[in-house]
């Protein structure tokens, strides 16, 4: 099996097109000698879950999800973009 070639450049450019250039500048220095990993998270069936539990419960859970991801990033010297 060939090694993972990553995201094609055109797809990466599309993904990054909505990112604030100032925030992007924070991670670009890492690309020269470090590793840049992009992590996208989701809550499975979020639309259905939100409809079933209501806005307040859903957004409370989403806030806890964000807090957990941020704590993990901080523990590993990661940066949120």
Digit-coded pLDDT (tens) for 17-53: 777 877 777 766 655 566 677 888 888 899 999 999 9
Q: What are the residue boundaries of the structural domains of the chain, listed by start? A: 35-81
| pTM higher than 0.85 | no
- The torsion of the CA quartet 60, 63, 69, 71, rounded to 10 degrees, works out to -100
- Examine the pLDDT at 12 and tell me if it is beyond 80: no
Do residues 69 and 42 lie in contact, with contact meaning Cβ atoms separated by under 8 Å? Answer: no
């Amino acid at each position: 099996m060939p090694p993972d070639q990553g995201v094609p450049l055109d797809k990466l450019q599309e993904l990054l097109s909505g990112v604030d250039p100032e925030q992007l500048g924070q991670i670009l220095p890492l690309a020269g000698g470090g590793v840049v990993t992009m992590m996208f998270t989701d809550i499975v069936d979020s639309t259905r879950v939100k409809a079933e539990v209501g806005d307040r419960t859903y957004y409370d859970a989403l806030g806890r999800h964000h807090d957990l991801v941020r704590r993990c990033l901080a523990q590993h010297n990661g940066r949120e973009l």
